[in-house]
Amino acid sequence: MTPHDALAPDLALIEDLARETVRALPEPYRVAAAAILLRVEEFPSDEILTSMEIDDPFELTGLYEGVPMTEKSVMDQPLQPDVIWLFRRPILDEWVDRGNVSIGDLVSHVMIHELAHHFGWSDDDIAAIDPWWE
């Protein structure tokens, strides 16, 4: 296959790469991260963009929706599952713009960033898991 025959990574590949990231997490986080609902879409919805006051859908590569673990109580009744959204077209746009990282590394970076919101990780916590920050 020549570069002219190559196809852009599809939604399924982006999801597979995100799930690989979860499987590679250190043990204390792997099970909890696997319980988060993962959604991969082409772009964020108009509702998401409006609620975040974002005009350009290419500005949002991922989003965590839920209550961070640092704010949860065992007494809380869950109203909806925690969700991580990954947005394929903005991720691909950033991947092309960068030109110096693999699609796997970029998807992993976005996924780790969204997991950081769920787990309440500091920058030091993220750096211990995601070498992107080095």
pLDDT of res. 48: 96
Full-prediction pTM beyond 0.85?
Answer: yes
Cα separation, 115 vs 126, in Å, equals 9
Alpha carbon separation from 30 to 55, 93, 128 (Å, rounded): 34, 29, 15
Q: Which CATH architecture has domain 3-68+78-128?
A: 2-Layer Sandwich (3.30)
Cα separation, 57 vs 49, in Å, equals 7
pLDDT of res. 80: 82
Cα separation, 40 vs 1, in Å, equals 27
pLDDT in tens, the chain (134 residues): 555 566 889 999 999 999 999 999 988 899 999 999 999 999 999 999 999 999 999 999 999 999 888 887 777 776 788 999 999 999 999 999 999 999 999 999 999 999 999 999 888 888 888 876 55
